Amino acid sequence: MSLKILGTGRGLPEQIIENKRFTEFLDTSDEWIVARTGIHERRICRTESATDLAVAAAEKAMNAAGVAPAELDMILCSTIGGDYVTPSLACCVAERIGATCPSVDLNAGCVGFLYSLNTAAAFFDSGRAERILIIGLERMSAWMDWSRRSICVLFGDGAGACVVGKGDALKYLHLGVEGDPAPLNRPLSIGNNPFTDRQPVEEVLHMDGRKVFKFATRVLEAEIARTFEQTGLTAEDIDWFLVHQANGRIIDHVQHKLGQPEEKFPKNVCRYGNTSSASIPILMDELVENGDMKPGQTLFLGAFGAGLTYGSAVLKWT
Q: If you count DSSP H runs as helices and E runs as strands, how many of each does the chain have, helices first?
A: 9, 13
Q: Which of the residues 77, 110, 152, 162 is marked catalytic? A: 110
Spatial distance between the Cα atoms of 110 and 245, rounded to a whole number of angstroms: 9
Question: Of how many residues is the chain composed?
Answer: 318
Q: Is 45 a catalytic residue?
A: no
A 10 A CB-CB count for 172 gives 17
Answer whether the bond into residue 181 is a cis peptide, omega within 30°. no
Q: Is 274 a catalytic residue?
A: yes
Q: Is 152 a catalytic residue?
A: no
Cβ proximity of 7 and 163 under 8 Å: yes
Could you tell me which residues come within 8 angstroms of residue 190 by beta carbon, excluding any fewer than 6 positions away? Answer: 196, 198, 199, 200, 201
Cβ proximity of 309 and 109 under 8 Å: yes
Say whether 155 sits in a helix, a strand or coil. Answer: strand
Phi, psi of 10 (to 5 degrees): -150, 155
Q: Which of the residues 40, 206, 244, 247 is marked catalytic? A: 244
Phi, psi of 133 (to 5 degrees): -95, 120
Q: Which residues are catalytic?
A: 110, 244, 274
